[in-house]
Structure 1
C-alpha cells in the first residue's frame, strides 16, 4: 500500500504523580518514530495532584506507517471485527493500548494509551471510514 488511509494519528497518555515521567514517555515512544516530538502539558487533578498529559501526532505517511507497523503486533483481526464500534461518525478510529506493556516493549490492547486515527473517507461517512480502516488493518496483518 503506497498511501495510508489516515489523515493523522494522535496518541495520548497521562502521567500521574505516582508515575515516573520518563518511563511513561518511554511507553508512548514505543509507538512513535524517533523524530516525532512528544507534547507535554501539566495539569492538576481534583485533589491537587500533578497530572501530566503526554501526546503526539503523526501526520506524514512514513510516520503513520511506523505506528501501524507497531500495531501489527496485536490481534488486528479482532479489531477489524469491532470497527463498527471503534469508528465514530466523524470518521475517527479509537483504540486503547496498554501503557505498562508498552513500557516493557510489548504492544497489547489495554488501558493507558489512547490512539485516535482520523480515517480518510470520501464521502466522509462512517461506512466509508470503516471500510478504509478495515483495508488498512488487513494490509498490516
Structure 2
C-alpha cells in the first residue's frame, strides 16, 4: 500500500472488573504492531467497580498499515464497504466496532468491545472524498497491492 489516507487511527476498549486485563490488552494488541505502547486510564464505575480504559493512537504510516492489514482479515469486509457512507461522519472520521473476544482468539469480526475511529485524510474535507479515500485504503489492504 503506497499511501495511507488517514491522519491517525484510534483503538479503544474497556476492561471491566470481571475481565483479565492481560487478556483484554492482548485482544487490543491483535490490531497493533508488536512494540506499540498502550495507554491505560483507571476509572471507577457507577457501582464502585474498577474499569480500565485501554487505548492506542496509531499515527505512523507503518503502524496504520498493520491495523489495516488486520482489518483486511474481516470476513464482513464487503459489508463494511457497503456501509461506508454511514461509517464515515461529516467530520471525516471512520468508525468500526470490533469483537473483543474474537480479537483475543486471533480473529477479526464486527461486534462489541473494541472501538476503532480513524480520521480520514480528505482534501477538501468533505464526506464524499473521505468515503472514497477510506474505500481505497480498505480495498488496497484487502488486496495484494505491493506498489
Question: What residue in structure 2 maps to residue 105 of structure 1?
Answer: 106
How do 1:46-125 residues align onto structure 2 when only pairs under 5 Å count?
46-74=46-74, 75-125=76-126
- Displacement after TM superposition at 1:60 (Å): 0.7
Determine helix, strand or coil for the equivalent of 1:107.
coil
Cα separation, 1, equivalents of 2:37 and 2:89: 27
- Displacement after TM superposition at 1:137 (Å): 1.1
TM-score (norm 1): 0.98
Cα separation, 1, equivalents of 2:5 and 2:106: 27
| Dislocated runs of 4+, deviation >3 Å | none
- Displacement after TM superposition at 1:130 (Å): 0.5
Determine helix, strand or coil for the equivalent of 1:97.
strand
Structure 1: unaligned runs, 5 residues or longer: none
TM-score (norm 2): 0.94
Q: How many aligned residue pairs are there?
A: 141
Alpha-carbon RMSD across the aligned residues, in angstroms, is 0.7
